[in-house]
Amino acid sequence: MTLTIIISGMPGSGKTTLANDLAKRYGLEIFTGSDVFKGMAREQGYDPDKIGWWESEEGFEFLAKRHENPKFDKEVDRVVMDVAKKGGVVITSWTMPYLGAPGIKIFLNASQEERAKRVVGRDGIDYEDALQHIKKRDEENRRLYKNLYGFTLGQDLDIFDIIVDTDGMTPEQVDDIVAKQIDKMVK
């Protein structure tokens, strides 16, 4: 069996950190849907490589374009699904668990306040701005995926194999909890 691990969670929940840790632990590649989105954003003339870009006005403008034209998300989902089917990878994706991609599906839960603190540390922006951006992104992303696929991101969790509330936890603690559960599942 070729291992595929899919990590989902709202912005700032720790997806990328966990993906990096699990990829090292299990000798897997990493693939993120956001990298594909960034490529599309570059094609549209944006600069998504700036720190905090997703929380910027430009990032929200790109999100609005995605609302207007579902081709962006459908194309990203097609590419990511192909990667998931090949296996040997850790994927961060909001949609793959809901679209039936093969693999172990993990959801990282964290409060908006905790995620805002992480964004402050990651992107160096003001806490109140980070919290406002987190709330706006949550709302916009939930609306986008509800309209596009019919699921409520961050709320419809029954499809996940592992759910971890990461509030107050270190990345090492999250990694430990998840790895123990993965090890039980693959044995």
Task: Report domain extents, the chain.
Answer: 4-186
Instruction: Tell me if 101 sits within 8 A of 85, measured CB to CB.
Output: yes
Residue 168 pLDDT exceeds 60: yes
Tokens (6 digits) for 175: 């990694």
* Tokens matching residue 48: 């998504």
What is the reported pLDDT for 98?
Answer: 94
Determine the 3-state secondary structure of 167 from DSSP: coil
What is the Cα–Cα distance from 161 to 174, expressed in whole angstroms? 15
Q: Give CA 173 to chain center in angstroms.
A: 19
| Whole-number percent of the chain with pLDDT over 70 | 98
pLDDT given at position 60: 73
At 34, is the pLDDT very low, low, confident or very high (cuts 50, 70, 90)? confident
Name the average pLDDT for the chain.
89
Counting residues of the chain whose pLDDT is more than 90, the rounded percentage is 60
What is the model's pLDDT at position 46? 81
CATH code for the structural domain at 4-186: 3.40.50.300
pLDDT band at 53, cuts 50/70/90? confident
Beta bridge mates, 109: 165
Has residue 148 got a pLDDT over 70? yes
Q: Does residue 1 have a pLDDT over 70?
A: no
